[in-house]
C-alpha cells in the first residue's frame, strides 16, 4: 500500500488530480481468497480520503454467492449488469440494509 501512496504523491506533484489503478484476480487460487479479502479491506480503508481510484476486476465464473458478498463488503461500490445497462451497486451498509 505504501507504493500506491507514494505513486499518488508523485502523480499530484506532477500536476495530475489523482491516481487511477486497476487490479485483477486471475492469479488467485481458492486458498488465497481470505488473505486477498483482508488485503482488499486494508486497501479500501487506506485509500479513504485519498485521491486514488481503484478498479478491481473479478471473473464472475469464479465467484459463488459468498465471494460476491465478500467483494461487495470490501469495496465502496461495484459495477454490474443484468442486461445491456451497467449499474452502480452499493454495499449493503450504504443501502441501509443490516
**How far apart are alpha carbons 36 and 58 in whole angstroms?**
12
User: Is residue 51 helix, strand or coil?
Assistant: coil
Beta bridge partners of 22: 55
Q: What are the phi and psi torsion angles at 92 (to 5°)? A: -60, -30
**How far apart are alpha carbons 60 and 25 in whole angstroms?**
11
- pLDDT tens by residue, 18-72: 999 998 888 888 899 999 999 999 998 899 899 999 888 888 788 888 888 888 8
For residue 6, what pLDDT is reported? 96
| Residue keyed to cell 505504501 | 2
- pLDDT tens by residue, 4-17: 999 999 999 999 99
Amino acid at each position: 500500500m505504501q507504493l500506491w501512496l507514494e505513486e499518488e504523491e508523485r502523480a499530484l506533484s506532477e500536476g495530475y488530480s489523482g491516481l487511477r489503478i486497476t487490479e485483477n484476480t486471475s492469479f488467485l487460487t481458492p486458498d488465497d481468497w481470505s488473505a486477498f479479502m483482508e488485503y482488499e479491506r486494508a486497501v479500501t480503508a487506506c485509500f479513504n480520503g485519498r485521491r486514488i481510484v481503484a478498479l478491481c476486476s473479478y471473473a464472475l465464473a469464479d465467484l459463488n454467492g459468498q465471494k460476491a458478498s465478500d467483494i461487495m463488503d470490501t469495496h465502496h461500490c461495484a459495477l454490474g449488469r443484468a442486461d445491456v445497462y451497467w449499474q452502480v451497486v452499493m454495499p449493503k451498509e450504504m443501502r441501509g440494509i443490516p
